[in-house]
Amino acid sequence: MSEPRKPLIALDDALASLLAQVTPLAGTETLATAETRGRVLAADLVSPVDVPPADNSAMDGYALRAADAGALLPVTQRIPAGSVPAPLAAGEAARIFTGAQVPPGADTVVMQEHTELVDGQLRVTQPVSPGANVRLRGEDVRAGAVVLPAGTRLDAVSLGLAATAGAAQLTVTRRPRVAVFSTGDELVMPGEPLPPGAIYNSNRFTLRALLEGLGCEVVDLGIVPDNLAATRAALRDAASKADVILTSGGVSVGEEDHLRPAVQAEGRLDLWAIAIKPGKPFAYGRVGEAHFIGLPGNPVSSLVTFLVLVRPFLLKLQGATRLAPRGYRIPAGFDWPKPDKRREFLRVRLDEDSGLALFGNQSSGVLTSAFWADGLLDNPAGQAFAAGHAVRFIPFAELLS
Site of interaction with ligand AMP (CB under 6 A): 182, 184, 186-187, 199, 201-204, 248-250, 252, 296-299
Single-letter code of the amino acid located at 246 = L
What is the x/- site pattern for Mg ion, positions 295-314, by CB under 5 A? Answer: --x-----------------
Binder among 249, 285, 312, 355 for Mg ion (CB under 5 A): 249
What is the number of the residue whose Cβ is closest to ligand AMP? 297
The span of 115-123, 127-135, 250-258, 351-359 binding Mg ion (CB under 5 A) equals 250-258
Shortest separation between residue 215's beta carbon and ligand AMP, angstroms: 23
319 binds, among Mg ion, ligand AMP, none (CB under 5 to 8 A by kind): none
Shortest separation between residue 208's beta carbon and ligand AMP, angstroms: 11
Shortest separation between residue 180's beta carbon and ligand AMP, angstroms: 10
Q: Using the CB atoms, write b or e for 238-264: b if 16+ within 10 Å.
A: bbeebbbbbbbbbbbeeeebbbbebbe
369 binds, among ligand AMP, Mg ion, none (CB under 5 to 8 A by kind): none
In the bound state with Mg ion, the residue whose beta carbon lies nearer, of 176 and 249, is: 249
Shortest separation between residue 345's beta carbon and ligand AMP, angstroms: 17
186 binds, among Mg ion, ligand AMP, none (CB under 5 to 8 A by kind): ligand AMP
103 binds, among Mg ion, ligand AMP, none (CB under 5 to 8 A by kind): none
Q: Give the separation between CA 115 and CA 60, rounded to whole angstroms.
A: 11
In the bound state with ligand AMP, the residue whose beta carbon lies nearer, of 61 and 297, is: 297
In the bound state with ligand AMP, the residue whose beta carbon lies nearer, of 93 and 219, is: 219
Enumerate residues 168-197 that contact Mg ion by CB under 5 A: 184
In the bound state with Mg ion, the residue whose beta carbon lies nearer, of 297 and 312, is: 297
In the bound state with Mg ion, the residue whose beta carbon lies nearer, of 184 and 285, is: 184
Q: Does 281 bind Mg ion (CB under 5 A)?
A: no
Shortest separation between residue 297's beta carbon and Mg ion, angstroms: 5
Sort strands 276-277 and 244-248 into parallel, antiparallel or unpaired.
unpaired
Shortest separation between residue 223's beta carbon and ligand AMP, angstroms: 8
Judged by the rule CB under 5 A, the positions of this chain that interact with Mg ion are: 184, 249-250, 297
